[in-house]
Amino acid sequence: MNHHFDALGLSQGASQQEIQEAYDRLSKELNPANNNNQEFFKEEYEKVKEAYKALSKRSILKNNDSSSSSSTTKKLEDSSSSSSSGSFTVTISPEKIEELKSKAQEANDKPHVKPSMFKNPFSFSGRIRRLEYGLSYIIYYIWIIFSSFIAISIDVDNFEGIYYLCIIPGLYFWLAQGSKRCHDRGNSGWYQLIPFYVLWMLFGDGNIGENKYGSNPKGVNKIN
């Protein structure tokens, strides 16, 4: 329980009023939305939310305990008094705040680099963005048409056998690109076999920042 107080920059036994004020301040200060959506603010933001939830639950249970009701009332009154006098301040480790701000500045100084498309078109690893998958979809269907022309030109009588042989590389390419698009949404490549899931692959947003399949295919500090 002590680490929850530390996450909010409070000493153990702080009142609910102090907890609420600490949470209000830190949730704004560490919210990734208020810090250019930098990834490293998310961890601290989640710690603050977790600490607030745990301490609020503790306070509710404590208030329901009749043996400690008078003590709780006194703490709330003391908190209200200190808050009105302006003597109450909420802090988080200054070193941690400076570290986060330093990292944010470093990230902002990095140029936005958008990775090139079709770097590993036959690989099933990594992530690709919607645009690359959409182009891959078009390329695959062009290959289907091209394969039929090849089959006809080689041997009309054995059209089907030659056609299916020619289409294998295109099908492999399409499945590989589909797997990487599923990865961009945080899902296994097998998801592309779900009926109509291709619509989500074409139009759905990818995960923000890195996920377990790799980095954001739209580049540094870019939200999908």
Amino acid at 91: T
For residue 158, the model assigns a pLDDT of 78
Task: Specify whether 105 is located in the same domain as 135.
Answer: no
Task: Specify whether 119 is located in the same domain as 220.
Answer: yes
- The range of the structural domain enclosing residue 170 comes to 114-224
* Averages of pLDDT over each 10 residues, the chain, 224 residues: 70 81 81 72 79 73 51 51 44 64 59 75 93 94 91 80 90 95 94 92 87 83 42
The total of structural domains in the chain comes to: 2
Answer whether 40's CB lies under 8 Å from 99's CB. no
Task: Specify whether 143 is located in the same domain as 168.
Answer: yes
Residue 10: both structure tokens together:
């409070």
For residue 178, the model assigns a pLDDT of 95
For residue 219, the model assigns a pLDDT of 72
| CA dihedral for 88, 94, 98, 104, sign (positive or negative) | negative
For residue 105, the model assigns a pLDDT of 60
Q: Could you say which DSSP state residue 79 is in?
A: H
CATH number for the domain harbouring residue 59: 1.10.287.110
For residue 192, the model assigns a pLDDT of 94
